[in-house]
A and B are shown apart, each in its own frame.
Chain A
Amino acid sequence: MSVLVDGDTRVLVQGITGHQGTVHTVQMKAFGSKVVAGTTPGKGGQTVDGVPVFDSVEEAVATTGANASCIFVPAPFARDAFLEAVDAGIRLAVVVTEHIPFHDMLTMYHYARLRGARIIGPNCPGIAAPGKAKVGIIPNVVFRPGRVGVVSRSGTLTYEIVSGIKDVGLGQSTCIGLGGDPVVGTSFVDALPWFEEDPDTDVIVMVGEIGGTAEEEAAEYLHHHLDKPVVAYIAGRSAPPGKRMGHAGAIIARGRGTAESKVRALEGAGVRVAQFPYEIPGLVAQLLQEHGRR
């Protein structure tokens, strides 16, 4: 078992002939994912690293049985790419594309809800379950199969933390990067129950950042609904208010979204909060020991 993806996941890459699409198709295959099809309108009939390219998602799904999509399509066309995927029957879409207007994302999110589809992202590194499948762009080298679940709002910081977990001899069950945009398809509150129910996950690492209230909502949720131990880290405790720190969401505005408020909420819910990223592996090992899992 793993979360969202497994050995039966048949990956479609939308925007496969672009630079990113091509590079990450090769990487996903090297990870062990079954990448069965790609799409780029007008480039049907080509292949990318042996993967057949189709003009439309409808043809790709009919021919290859693809059941999850990884979207690299540029921002102005990403909404359309997503709607096309859902209408062709895809129910899991990892949207790697950054700079998608939130008005487009509102349409995508609510359409996904209407049709029973799930979006991870946008502007996210995706999902990886070591030994099973990867849909996204997290570097293969940071992983090793194990029992730590990771859910994060960050990109490269997730790589850093996942890699740190590997360095101490532990491994990951599934890692999900949610993305840090103002409107995300999947939040902590959506993702935490999947890890709680996953028999392959013993401990959950949650990586948040300043801005918004997603971490506070997660704290409230896990306090009431989660039994598995959680380690958290919040990036941006030194960030001054009013400065936008890269992610559109990462800003302390009107006193909301501070690291202090998030840390307090999480600690109040019984979560072990790391002050710095390099403290996470130690806290994970400690919790595993306390829970008799190691």
Chain B
Amino acid sequence: MVKLAEWRGKEIFRKNGIPLPRGRVIRSPEEARAAAESGDVPLPCVVKAQVLAGGRGKGGAVRFANSPAEAEAAARAILGTEFKGETVREVLLEEKLPIAKEFYVSLTLDRSARLPLLMVSAQGGVEIENVAEEAILRLPIHPFIGLAAYERRKAARQLGVAGPTAKALESLLDRLWWVFQKEDAELVEINPLALVGDGLVALDAKVIVEDDATFRHPEYADIRDDRTPLEEVAREEGIAFVQLDGNIGVIANGAGLTMATLDVLQKFGGRPGVFLDLGGTDDPSKVTQAFLLMARAKPASVFLNIFGGVTRCDTVARGLVDAMKQVPEGERFPLVARIRGNNETEGIAILRSAGVISLRELEESARAAVASAGGRP
């Protein structure tokens, strides 16, 4: 998933006519002073670190300024600091508004109903997980119809707003629904949505774009989560890379088989470390790539569990044996390889003659992997 920083989310809101405080994103203290001096950002203003983690207010990553000098000082205090593991590189300056009330609005996916879900609550400004169920209105939305007028009215009643505020909410919900679809979002959330006078203003913006839809959104190509170099390589190769805290490297194909492999290893006292999931493929070149990637993670031992579809096991086994030779002498590790499918007897023979522990059953293979990592199954 691609999580957008607040200012990026707000850029999208702005383009789609969702009301926002006047503000600017800055990258240096001097820019902060200039923005306040020029009146681009009216004073008093809020100075917010642009990090993805929550709890910025309590964590000192949100400050207030009454003058250009204070804006500069606040930006200087925040920029370059670490907030829950993220470095603050951008700061959003926004006018401070007189807030009468704070609401919550979001659109997400309801997997079981297979429908988008609108959630609305009069209790905004706090984590939605901490709001009582009965204080949240949940409206499933049919994708072919969108929000019906009566549903928008229902949302207004939930927030207890009427007249021009209700009209403002109805227009905002339509725009939010449009953003949810057009941006291929997993989540669009405004928390808090502030009542200012009789109007509504989005004080925060949380937009998460679905990974699988990034082909429609080249504009997000420059956004990278904080990934380690190994994770980055895996991503480029289309291999799912997950770091757990053990010492046995696991390579498997398919999410279900990977998880089952971890479950069995743990049963015998093994502690899975890095695991690589190739997806459904048994492409020998991908198996080889994964093996070499795993070698760079320096595991105590490796358990490779592949169920072949169309590729023959002996072909995968030969590729693996070749890859083993590419790992420098001092960095080699015990390997337990289980490759199931066509020609598996030949595959096992090839692996065994190269010094690999190769067994047919999952249970005995897992025991061997735990033993080779120094554990006692």
Which residues of A pack against B, CB within 8 Å? 23-24, 27, 75-76, 98-103, 106-107, 109-110, 114, 125, 137-139, 141, 152-160, 163, 180, 182-183, 207, 209-210, 212-214, 217, 233, 235-240, 243-250, 254, 275-278
The reply to whether A278 and B242 form a contact with Cβ atoms under 8 Å apart is no
CB neighbours of A209 from chain B (8 A): 255-256, 259
CB neighbours of A213 from chain B (8 A): 111-112
**B: number of interface residues (CB 8 Å):** 52
CB neighbours of A248 from chain B (8 A): 211-212
The reply to whether B212 and A245 form a contact with Cβ atoms under 8 Å apart is no
CB neighbours of B310 from chain A (8 A): 23-24, 27, 137, 139
Given A156-B254, A246-B254, also A102-B210 (CB < 8 A): yes
Given A141-B342, A155-B280, A278-B363, also A207-B256 (CB < 8 A): yes
B114 interface hit (Cβ, 8 Å): yes
Please provide the 8 A-B residue pairs with the shortest distance between their CB atoms, ordered closest to farther. A154-B256, A246-B255, A157-B256, A156-B254, A101-B213, A247-B255, A236-B259, A235-B259
**Chain B contact surface mostly:** mixed
CB neighbours of A278 from chain B (8 A): 361-363
The reply to whether B213 and A103 form a contact with Cβ atoms under 8 Å apart is yes
The reply to whether B361 and A240 form a contact with Cβ atoms under 8 Å apart is no
Contact of B253 among A101, A156, A254, A276 (CB under 8 A): A156
Contact of B259 among A109, A125, A250 (CB under 8 A): A250
A244 to chain B, nearest CB (A): 8
Give the nearest-CB partner of B310 in chain A. A23
Which residues of B210-261 have CB atoms within 8 Å of chain A's CB atoms?
210-213, 215-216, 240, 242, 244, 252-260
CA distance A247 to B307 in the complex (A): 17
Contact of B254 among A101, A154, A249 (CB under 8 A): A154
The reply to whether A99 and B256 form a contact with Cβ atoms under 8 Å apart is no
Which candidate, B66-74, B195-203, B262-270, is the interface stretch facing chain A? Answer: B262-270
B255 to chain A, nearest CB (A): 3
CB neighbours of A254 from chain B (8 A): 129
B19 interface hit (Cβ, 8 Å): no
Contact of B257 among A76, A156, A182, A217 (CB under 8 A): A156
CB neighbours of A157 from chain B (8 A): 254, 256-257, 259-260, 307
The reply to whether B111 and A106 form a contact with Cβ atoms under 8 Å apart is no
Give the number of residue pairs across the A-B interface with Cβ within 8 Å.
Answer: 166
The reply to whether A101 and B184 form a contact with Cβ atoms under 8 Å apart is yes
The reply to whether B210 and A159 form a contact with Cβ atoms under 8 Å apart is no
B42 interface hit (Cβ, 8 Å): no
Contact of A246 among B115, B240, B263 (CB under 8 A): B240
The reply to whether B184 and A156 form a contact with Cβ atoms under 8 Å apart is no
Contact of A235 among B213, B263, B307, B342 (CB under 8 A): B263
CB neighbours of B280 from chain A (8 A): 98, 125, 137, 155-156
The reply to whether B262 and A160 form a contact with Cβ atoms under 8 Å apart is no
The reply to whether A75 and B215 form a contact with Cβ atoms under 8 Å apart is yes
The reply to whether A102 and B260 form a contact with Cβ atoms under 8 Å apart is no
CB neighbours of A153 from chain B (8 A): 256
Contact of B363 among A102, A212, A238, A276 (CB under 8 A): A276
What are 16 sample pairs from A and B whose C-beta atoms fall under 8 A apart? A101-B184, A106-B109, A107-B143, A110-B144, A154-B257, A156-B280, A160-B340, A212-B112, A236-B263, A238-B262, A238-B263, A246-B242, A247-B256, A275-B267, A276-B267, A278-B361
The reply to whether A139 and B341 form a contact with Cβ atoms under 8 Å apart is yes
Given A103-B181, A157-B254, also A277-B362 (CB < 8 A): yes
CA distance A207 to B144 in the complex (A): 32
CA distance A92 to B253 in the complex (A): 27
B309 interface hit (Cβ, 8 Å): yes
The reply to whether B259 and A210 form a contact with Cβ atoms under 8 Å apart is yes
Give the nearest-CB partner of A249 in chain B. B111
CA distance A123 to B307 in the complex (A): 17
CA distance A249 to B362 in the complex (A): 25
B116 interface hit (Cβ, 8 Å): yes
Select the residue from B244, B253, B263 with max chain A CB neighbours within 10 A.
B263
